């Protein structure tokens, strides 16, 4: 009996030594091989979007600001003009580098997009908002902005096209504000007719720009 006990004790000791050796070897192997990223590190990696994805994200934020009324036509036009300039610079850099961007160019574009991001946030959270009033003229202008927002989000409208459309809306809004001020806050029948005519033209422009061949790279089929 004693012999059997000693025999099994020796076997257990051998197993423990073997396990310890395996643990040591595994630790050495892990230290010499590339580290496996943790779930948190993987998440961070995925959160680092490409230049194209980041531009799409910026456009979505602008579209949401258009839809909610947090961005005025003048603010939208300004933001989209800046976005168009970044896009143009990106295309120029790619053309000069055989379709790719250098590390320095990527860093420069990323810095410009950081500035854009801050500007979008500032414009969406300042005191300027788009209020169109509870009337037919106001409702129509709101509908136009909704159509523009949808075009931005779908990629059917490029930044330069959006800037032009918003500049047109800005002109109509200025016209309406001027007429209301001259008439104690209301519009005459003639002025309403004129505004409606201007919005008809704006509506046609929105349709044309949303259905032409010029789209964002991420454009979805209407």
Predicted pLDDT of residue 162: 97
C-alpha distance from residue 15 to each of 2, 7, 11, 47, 209 (Å): 20, 13, 6, 46, 76
Q: pLDDT tens-digit profile of 44-69?
A: 334 345 888 899 999 999 999 999 99
Which position has the token pair 């854009």?
A: 116
Predicted pLDDT of residue 22: 42
Cβ atoms of residues 66 and 152 within 8 Å: yes
- Rounded to an integer, the average pLDDT of 110-136 is 91
pLDDT tops 50 at residue 25: no
**For residue 222, what pLDDT band results from cuts at 50, 70 and 90?**
low
Predicted pLDDT of residue 221: 61
Q: pLDDT tens-digit profile of 65-118?
A: 999 999 999 999 999 999 999 999 999 999 998 988 999 999 999 999 999 999
pTM: 0.72
Q: Which H or E element spans position 115?
A: helix 103-124
């Amino acid at each position: 009996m004693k012999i059997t006990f000693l025999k099994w004790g020796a076997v257990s000791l051998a197993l423990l030594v073997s396990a310890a050796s395996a643990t040591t070897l595994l630790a050495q192997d892990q230290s010499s091989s590339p580290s496996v990223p943790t779930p948190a590190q993987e998440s961070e990696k995925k959160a680092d979007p490409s230049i194209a994805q980041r531009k799409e994200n910026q456009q979505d934020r602008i579209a949401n600001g258009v839809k909610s009324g947090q961005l005025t036509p003048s603010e939208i036009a300004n933001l989209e003009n800046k976005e168009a300039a970044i896009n143009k610079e990106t295309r120029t850099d790619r053309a000069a580098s055989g379709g790719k961007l250098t590390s320095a160019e990527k860093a420069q574009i990323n810095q410009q997009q950081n500035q854009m991001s801050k500007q979008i946030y500032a414009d969406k959270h300042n005191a300027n908002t788009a209020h169109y009033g509870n009337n037919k003229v106001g409702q129509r202008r709101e509908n136009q902005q909704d159509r523009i927002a949808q075009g931005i989000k779908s990629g059917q409208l490029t930044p330069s096209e959006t800037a032009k459309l918003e500049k047109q809306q800005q002109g109509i809004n200025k016209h309406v504000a001027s007429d209301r001020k001259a008439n104690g806050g209301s519009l005459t029948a003639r002025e309403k007719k004129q505004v409606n005519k201007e919005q008809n033209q704006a509506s046609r422009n929105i349709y044309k720009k949303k259905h032409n061949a010029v789209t964002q790279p991420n454009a979805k089929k209407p």
